[in-house]
Structure 1
Amino acid sequence: MRENDRVTSATRQPGTPASPTLSTSLHQGNTTSPPPRLIATDLDGTLLRDDKSVSPRTVAALAAAEKAGIEVFFVTGRPARWMGVVSDHVHGHGLAICGNGAAVVDLHGGPGAHRFVKVRELTRRNALDSVRLLREAVPGTVFAVEQTYGFHQEPDYPKLHMEIPDNLLPAEVLLAADGPDADQPVLKILAYHPDLDPDAFLSVARIAVADRASVTRSSPSALLELSGPGVSKASTLALCCAERGISPAEVVAFGDMPNDVEMLTWAGRSYAMGNAHPDVVAAASGRTVANNEDGVAVVIEQILADRA
């Protein structure tokens, strides 16, 4: 069951090392791989420090990469309205991939003025099926709904986010054909369980939902994110790169949580942060230091030094 594309927060995983040595794979393959043309980086737990700031060193590294002709794409699970922290650093193209690949957003104009360039929605039918199947498989699961501009949640959904929801209603009402903001595409469903281990919850949910949605997680809590079938950071990044004539071999990617795994596997070179989830470490071709130690900037600086 596939869906048509419509063109129109998480930090360190507990128990993972904070500061591994920079992987020697930073230098592997440089003699045979083409020079990078695009850097794709996650935000929370990756580019951003734990206080959600972009360090001066990282700001300088991003600007230097763009000056050298390397495009920088922010690829995040965040909704577009949470992109103010990096909207000053998107440079000429102004684009970011949000909602785990559910949207490509032009951030020109700053917070509140973004424009959706590409939307890959989760159909209401698939969303309702996914909610029903998760309720059956994991009783006690509660839901929230992310749309292009709206955010809604069930009454029992905990206060996990930085905003007041537009509506407090059961997910079945929120996702009905005549529900709130019915004219807006659904970008993703958030599913939370108060007691389950996060990775166990992810495994059960993927089996239960099957091909009705893509299921991942970026939070250290048992909070899952459901997007349209086939929608991921990797698949939307691949679309953006194809439009620019950029091959996977010309992409360098960074991430720290399971929602980054596909992107790190797809990119020609990829780096797990020092604070990364074990699945991310296994998927990446290299490893850098933690987000609080500017791990993305460390690699970008080395890439630019190698080109000099």
Structure 2
Amino acid sequence: MTSATERPEPHHPAPAGAGDPASVTGPVRLIATDLDGTLLRDDKTVSDRTVAALAAAEKAGIEVFFVTGRPARWMGVVSDHVHGHGLAICANGAAVVDLHRGGRVVEVRPLHRLAAMDVVGALRVAAPGTSFAVELTTGLHYEPEYPPFHLDPGATVDAAERLLSEDAWHAETPVLKLLAHHPEMSPDDYLALARETAGAHASFTRSSPTALLEISGLGVSKASTLAQCCAERGISPGEVVAFGDMPNDLEMLTWAGSSYAMANAHPEVLAATPARTAANSEDGVAVVIERILEEQT
């Protein structure tokens, strides 16, 4: 979940042929796109060109799913641009929300509190200085040491152990994600350490340029929830085109039949995704959608 105040990682130049849809080998029935660093420009807006491309895809019978680390309450920037089904996948796959109904959560794949407590204990030992936040279906709560956070003014500020306690006032509210921040470690080293020390308890990923980890229930990812949504619609991986830029997109990009890394993507994403498109600031998603529609008409 990348904060609107965090700076994006440096852009990488797009290679020759960026946006060439030649890797799409058959009819496309669904487009799955990340938001921050992918569909959204750096100022967190959706360009007119991208809005038009999304609408044209839906008109052509291609479903569009926004698949993001953002919580439902941060989906206002794109809520007007989901047509048809109205659904989006949020919190890295932990929630499916209905944007036609004000971001109402219609399905939850929670991180169980005991597993989250195990992660907290392991990271306190393995990475001293770690601070935590707990993302519930109703909002974010965090520790006093967690980086200043102003988007959830009603948050409870307390130790993670108490926030996750069975006695907490919100104990019956599902936990979508645990967030872990370290003030000194490099983001990739922190992710590797966390997976090594606590990977038996939860799924770890990252999408921030800082050492901020996003921790979900075991097996929960953008890819696994997208696969479930596609199976419900009789859509195979080969009929899906996906777009992304950060490590939390990797499973989705490798699951989809055709995938595009943004030119500004993390090096690991660029290495894992042969097809490229232009940067998010240059409407890279729209470039590919337009060409797909030309091929399918």
TM-score by length of 2: 0.95
* 8 Å CA contact 2:20, 2:288 repeated in 1: no
Q: Which residue of 1 aligns with 2:296?
A: 307
Of the candidates 82, 87, 99, which is equivalent to residue 91 of structure 2? 99
Please identify runs of 4+ aligned residues in structure 1 that moved more than 2 A. 10-16, 18-26, 160-165
Uncovered stretches (5+) of structure 2, i.e. residues with no partner: none
Once the two structures are superposed, residues 238-296 of structure 1 have per-residue CA deviations (whole angstroms, 9 ceiling, x without a partner) of 00000000000000000000000000000000000010001111222410010000000
Choose from 200, 203, 212 the match for 1:211: 200
Query: Aligned match of 2:35 in 37, 40, 43?
Result: 43
Give the letter for the 1:218 counterpart.
S
Alignment check: 8 A CA contact 1:272 1:288 kept = yes
Q: Check the 8 A contact 2:139/2:152 in 1, yes or no.
A: no
Partner amino acid, structure 2, of 1:277: H
- Name the CA distance, whole Å, in 2 between partners of 1:242 and 1:98: 18
Gap runs ≥5 in structure 1: 1-8
Say whether residues 1:188 and 2:180 are aligned partners.
no
Give the conservation status (yes or no) of the 8 Å contact 1:75–1:98.
yes
- Asked whether the 8 Å contact 1:25–1:285 carries over to 2, the reply is no
CA distance in 1, matches of 2:183, 2:63: 40
Q: 2:253 aligns with which of 261, 264, 279?
A: 264
TM-aligned CA deviation for residue 164 of structure 1: 2.5
Partner of 1:243: 232
User: Does the Cα contact within 8 Å between 1:269 and 1:285 map onto a contact in 2?
Assistant: no
Check 1:160–1:199 CA distance in 2 against 1; reply closer, same or farther (3 A cut). farther
The one-letter code matched in structure 2 to 1:38 is L
Contact 1:233 1:263 in 2 (8 A): yes
- SS of the residue corresponding to residue 199 of structure 2 reads helix
In the alignment, the residues of structure 2 paired with residue 14 and residue 114 of structure 1 have an alpha-carbon distance, to the nearest angstrom, of: 28
CA distance in 2, matches of 1:165, 1:124: 21
2:195 counterpart SS class: helix
Counterpart residue identity of residue 53, structure 2 = A
Post-superposition Cα deviations, 1:24-72, rounded to whole Å, max 9, x if no partner, equal 76213x5xx3201000000000000000000000000000000000000
Residue 176 to residue 106, structure 1, CA distance change in 2 (3 Å): same
- Partner-residue secondary structure (3-state), 2:110: coil
Report deviation, 1:16: 4.3
Give the equivalent residue in structure 2 for 1:222: 211
Q: Distance in 2 between matches of 1:203 and 1:165?
A: 33
User: Do the aligned partners of residues 17 and 59 (structure 1) sit closer, same or farther apart at CA in structure 2, a change above 3 Å counting?
Assistant: same
The correspondence of residues 136-155 of structure 1 with structure 2, limited to 5 A, is: 136-155=125-144
**Amino acid in the other structure paired with 1:217:** R
Identity of aligned residues (%): 66
Residue from 9, 21, 24 that aligns with 1:14: 9
TM-score (ref. length: structure 1): 0.92
- Match for residue 86 of structure 1? 78
Q: Is the 8 Å Cα contact of residues 55 and 294 (structure 1) preserved in structure 2?
A: yes
In the aligned structure 1, how far is the partner of 2:191 from the partner of 2:281? 27
Amino acid in the other structure paired with 2:88: A
Q: Which residue of 1 aligns with 2:188?
A: 199
Q: Judging changes above 3 Å, is the alpha-carbon distance between structure 1 residues 49 and 15 closer, same or farther for their aligned structure 2 residues?
A: closer
Q: Partners in 1 of 2:53 and 2:19 — Cα distance? A: 20
SS in structure 2 of the partner of residue 252 of structure 1: strand
The number of residues matched between the two structures is 294
- Alpha carbon RMSD of aligned pairs, Å? 1.5
Q: How far does residue 179 in structure 1 lie from its aligned partner after superposition?
A: 1.0
Cα pair 1:21 1:289 within 8 Å, conserved: no
SS in 2 for 1:118: strand
For each residue in 1:112-134, what CA deviation from the matched residue of structure 2 results, as whole angstroms up to 9, or x when unmatched? x3221110000000000001001
Q: CA offset at residue 13 of structure 1?
A: 5.5
Q: Choose which of 134, 152, 155 in structure 2 pairs with 1:166.
A: 155
